[in-house]
Structure 1
Amino acid sequence: MLGEINLLIIRLVLVVSALWLAQANLFASQLYSELALKENRDNIIISPLAVRSVLAMLFIAAEGQTRADLKRVLRLHGETKFLSVAEFRKNVNIESKAMELKIAYRIFLDSKYPIEENFQATAEYFLNSTAESVDFENTKEVAKVINKFLEEKTNKKFKDAVQPADISSYTTLFLANGFYFKSKWAKPFKKIGLQRPFYFTPVAHVPVVMYGKTDELLYGDIPHLSAKGVEIPYKDSNLSMLIILPNHRTDKLKHWENLLLRMDYRTLNAKFQRTNVHIQMPRFKISYETGLNSVLQSMGLKRLYINPDFTSMTRKMGLRLSNLKHKGIIEVNSKTDDGSEYSDNELNMNQLPKDFIVDHQFIFIVKDPVRLYFMGRVLKPQ
């Protein structure tokens, strides 16, 4: 079956891959906006790449209207399943001295539903993952199995992402995904001595330790969001963090996020210019987990939960999605490598730098030039 993917198709994939990745970013904007508007917690982080990847596995499994719904919501292109999922062939996991990026996802299927060999081969080839048979009657044991998978794939950075309460004896199909990300900056931040206020409303604030540097960065205004942004590169990679900072202190960031619903994040920095920037920001770590059932249904995937057609994965009828559990950790470690403190003497006085002081609520995006890995918000640093 996989032999049908010949060199001509692969060459075609390379030509249109940029268009596919643009569509992936539009999926990311909808996913993040739907989640942000439903979520009451201060700080959130999600990997649109991980969510889209595990749903792409369901696309391989699906037929009929279920397949059509997934293709539309995931913004996949291609006349065949192979062409539609060819973009996922790239392995995104990275582990180096400067960066640790781990993304994991898998389908867990009740053992009453025999898994088709062709599905397993296709999913492994394109998405480097497979479906695993489990006995959902034993909820505690299944939770252990899923947690073991996520822990191993993320170098044991988090535990117990899935609880027995997330599963029931009626569960037949469970999607699990998670990620861990930590990286050094291309140019490290340095500690700025005393604590500074971080505002979570126009007046209320919490004290935080700020870290700063002056660096040549992409910087610019985002007028339609009444915000400005800066893009900070990571060390020894083409990844960067884009920070979107409202022009004024606010407690309305959750409402402001609604503007992101139909936004293509590739265009946010279209008018940015490279210039000297004096940036200050707090350290923060976000550990976040959530179920995504209501989000997926809001995005147009209700059929996955009612009467889906997954006959390319199993010939037995009656299978439907019970839950998609997502957990991730991001560590933004602005601490300098040598423990030194920032000094204004480091400024390049030949060009007065732009000030970018991250002292109130903001949104951040971790991306490379074409792919979006993580998105989140910080209302209160932790």
Structure 2
Amino acid sequence: MKERTNILKNFRELVLRYLTAADSFAEGESDCYISAATSSYSVARQTLNTDADALVLKDDNGDDDLAGERGTTVSRSKMANHLSFLHVRLIILLSFLAGSHADRFTSDLLRRAVQFSRKDNVIVSPFSVREALAQVYVGVKGSAADELHSELHLTGHSKRESVEEFRRFHQILSPGGGATLKIANRIFVAHRFPVLLKYNELVRKIFRTDAENINFLNSQLAASRINKWVATRTEYLIEEIVQPDSLDGDLRLLVINAIYFHGKWEIPFHPKNTDKSDFFIPGEGPVKVDMMHGLINVLYGRTDVLDAHAVELPYMNSNISMLVILPNNPNGLPKLERNLYKVNLLTLTSEFEKEKILLDLPKFKIEFKLNLNQPLKGMGIQEIFRDPDFSDLTSPGECFFVSEVLQKAVIEVNEEGSTAAAATMAGISTKKRKPTFKVDHPFLFAIKDQQRVYFVGRVRRLD
């Protein structure tokens, strides 16, 4: 396992160096890195049990490995001709490699959020938290930077290389026409700490945002400003994330992170089929909830590691889907959560086959807000809350640290979609018995695409 991780890390860092060098056409660097990267890729491909189609780099003639598994050097002119093509190929590959790192962050964040929240229903956005903290990483030096680099599972030698994945993701990935994904990330810095121009230039280029100075002493105005910014960025789907009494003059740096998702099912549920059905709450018994019903053709299967069954429900005209993981034991959610680190949510259904199933899924809506300071400290991110060196963000001076990391997430699941595309239960043939996936007890869910987990959460209680 350690050898596998080191090979992945080494290859990914070399490819990142190539991409950075290729962007600026630094003399000699691009050829050097693409040669080293493809040589490392050859070792990785032979060592790792990975889909070859996801790893192969081909030129326009269909030749395997543009630079060759022989490790030959690519000429500058040939690299220029294939630059755009290589960027797409390599980013697909980087997405695959980055996913394994980010997924560890996902399972750990959910576990910590559940631990530090007393609420039954929890939802967090690992992708959004990771991106927000990557912005903090760009501004710190020393042990705090090393800690973030490690715990966020970043790769690359320089800061620019380490966060390059976020620029690339923003550049080529989008959720698609059937899904609405609104993300708001911003660092608010106390007004007496001027933000360095070089810092804002970097985060603007990489993350498409800025750090902003604000007077926390005027808590009413500061809260209004922060909430208005978040509401605007989320089209007023999230209108408030801070309250005036939560802001004071001791605040130094506030990381605000808000995300909203709404998607239309590829195969919508017909509202006429929704009825009142039992949902079992451990220790309390059944409660009546609005249960949607449908016959759908989706990825469905069993995961023995989690002692559960899972189904992946795609959203219309989108590469995003909802993964629902249902413990086989109605009381099995705590065990499932403990074992979540053993699986990769991004690839959990890769061995599943599409199958027509009878699906019973409850309607639910979750609004969840959490101060992430303690969960992040429990994950090993501690120095940014103590006395870090923020000299890459602001001029050196008095003690400067992260005061709070806040996240608010909203999700709603219902029948919404094109009614014309729906099939009513009256038209369902039951001559051949179909597998049934009945979500009538606590479950875990994730909203994801092939590279990122946007949300992960659990539902314990419905009413």
Q: Quote the residue 1:106 is aligned against.
A: 186
Give the 3-state SS of the residue equivalent to 1:266 in structure 2.
coil
Is 1:297 equivalent to 2:377 in the alignment? yes
Q: Quote the residue 2:401 is aligned against.
A: 320
Deviations 1:218-270 (A, max 9, x none): 111111211110000000011100000011212x5345412224542234223
Question: In the aligned structure 1, how far is the partner of 2:270 from the partner of 2:283?
Answer: 27
Which 4+ runs in 1 deviate beyond 3 A?
A: 7-13, 92-96, 335-342
8 A Cα contact 1:26 1:262, kept in partner: no
Gaps of 5+ in 2: 1-19, 34-82
Q: Quote the residue 1:153 is aligned against.
A: 233
Among 318, 325, 331, the alignment partner of 1:237 is: 318
8 A Cα contact 1:293 1:324, kept in partner: yes
Q: Quote the residue 1:222 is aligned against.
A: 303
8 A Cα contact 1:37 1:255, kept in partner: no
Identify if the C-alpha distance between structure 1 residues 263 and 282 changes in structure 2 by more than 3 Å, giving closer, same or farther: same
Among 100, 103, 123, the alignment partner of 1:25 is: 103
Q: Quote the residue 1:59 is aligned against.
A: 137
Is 1:211 equivalent to 2:229 in the alignment? no
Percent identity, aligned pairs only, is 31
Higher Cα Rg, which structure: 2
**Any residues of structure 2 matched to 1:240-319 within 5 Å, and which?**
240-250=321-331, 253-254=333-334, 256-261=336-341, 263-317=343-397, 318-319=399-400
Q: Quote the residue 1:183 is aligned against.
A: 263
Gaps of 5+ in 1: none
Q: Quote the residue 1:48 is aligned against.
A: 126
Q: Quote the residue 2:244 is aligned against.
A: 164
Question: In the aligned structure 1, how far is the partner of 2:105 from the partner of 2:319?
Answer: 22
More off after superposition, 135-144 vs 64-73: 135-144
More off after superposition, 333-342 vs 67-76: 333-342
* Higher relative contact order (Cα pairs below 8 Å, separated by 6+ residues): 1
Tell me the CA shift for residue 379 of structure 1.
1.1
Question: In the aligned structure 1, how far is the partner of 2:218 from the partner of 2:281?
Answer: 44
More helix by share: 2
Is 1:377 equivalent to 2:458 in the alignment? yes
More strand by share: 1
Q: Quote the residue 2:424 is aligned against.
A: 342
Question: In the aligned structure 1, how far is the partner of 2:275 from the partner of 2:207?
Answer: 47
Tell me the CA shift for residue 312 of structure 1.
0.7
Q: Quote the residue 1:199 is aligned against.
A: 280
Question: In the aligned structure 2, how far is the partner of 1:108 from the partner of 1:193?
Answer: 44
Q: What is the RMSD computed on CA atoms of the aligned residues?
A: 2.3
Question: In the aligned structure 2, how far is the partner of 1:71 from the partner of 1:365?
Answer: 25
Give the 3-state SS of the residue equivalent to 1:214 in structure 2.
strand
Number of aligned pairs? 377
Deviations 1:45-101 (A, max 9, x none): 1111110111000111111111100000100001111111111113366584x3211
Question: In the aligned structure 1, how far is the partner of 2:227 from the partner of 2:179?
Answer: 23
8 A Cα contact 1:184 1:333, kept in partner: no
**Any residues of structure 2 matched to 1:123-162 within 5 Å, and which?**
123-162=203-242
State the TM-score, normalized to the length of structure 1: 0.92
Task: Specify the code of the residue in structure 1 equivalent to 2:221.
Answer: E
